[in-house]
Amino acid sequence: MTTSSLTYGEAILSGFRYLLSNYPEVFVIGQGLWSPWYVGNSMTGLDKEFGQNRIIDSPVSELAVTGAAVGASLCGYRPIVVHPRMDFMILATDQIVNQAAKWSHMFGGQAHASVTVRSIVNRGGEQGAQHSQSLHAWFAHIPGLRVVMPATPEDARDLLIASVLSGDPVLYIDDRWLYEIEQEVSPIVEKNLRTEGPKVIRTGTDCTLVGSSYATQLCVEAAAHLEKQGVSCEIIDLRVVNPLIFDEIISSVEKTRKLCVVDGGWSACGLAGEIIAGICEKTAPSLLESTPVRLTLPDAPAPTSGPLESTYYFQSDDIVAAVLRLVSKRVGELSR
């Protein structure tokens, strides 16, 4: 099997090129698609290669472009909407939550909104509270809406393709902090999104680390440091956060009996709490040897200043510290 090395951004571009080359019903609509920035170089030259009737650079109206894409999906197209800042995608929430997510349910499965909404997290870089949010937990709450958060270049490419071909409404979230990560990737094989879910990306025996998107990469860094200190961590990359499949997480926790969930969102009603609750519901009460830990953002909007950002966003060192505390405590002794 021939492999090639791609960055995360290049892998997304590769996924777009595959879809546009092989499926004439696919088109892309959103802001900045013809700009020199090309959405972080993840869409470079697609307008010239496939034409501006399939790569549509829209006016600034999140509501209008999302509604147009949902409507087109009901007419047989497979549109991809690009929202370069997740924060402003909130303006299109009605189209995503009230329309696309519910259409198949309301009409007895006779009509499907086969639309993929690509939304980008832009945290850090002194962008402030209105340009930095990771709102995946909001949308993972919605039945009928699949939510995908790739952490690696190969998943960024393959899960984009799987999302568009799934026939379901999908929110595909990528984090700009991942764009320069590089990986050897295999040739494209079309995957069924319905069978994709959490995956063990590193085996270990002392503690289970669960992450998604950029948080998974921080877990990888932390596990390497912890190994040098004699702590063996197993890492679960969630990949798809709605619907959330627990099988891999349960199997891992049954082995390590310790759980640390790392999430780039807030704690309240968040993804990390959902995973811990699911483990408590689905396993024996005596399974965990230590109280599970969740590492999330502070309960506050993101700051704008660089020095404050450095304390607001957790890093791999924070995961290392949390795991060291976790492996040294018994149930009930650890509190946050």
Residues assigned a catalytic role: 131
Which tokens is 54 given? Answer: 């399939």
Contacts of 230 (CB under 8 A, 6+ apart): none
With CA atoms as reference, report the closest residue to 65 among 98, 36, 91, 86. Answer: 91
Please state whether beta strands 170-175 and 240-242 pair in parallel, antiparallel, or not at all (unpaired): unpaired
Question: Which alpha helices (DSSP H) does the chain contain, by range?
Answer: 8-22, 38-41, 46-50, 62-73, 93, 103-106, 136-140, 153-165, 214-228, 247-256, 271-282, 306-312, 316-327
Nearest CA to 294 out of 330, 329, 270 is that of 270
Strands (E), 84-144: 116-121
Residue 139 CA to residue 156 CA, distance in Å, equals 19
Cβ neighbourhood burial of 267 (10 Å; 0-12, 13-18, 19+):
middle
Whether residue 304 contacts residue 128, with contact meaning beta carbons closer than 8 Å, is answered with yes
Q: What is the CA radius of gyration of the chain?
A: 20
Please check whether residue 160 is in contact with residue 117, taking contact to mean a CB–CB distance below 8 angstroms: no
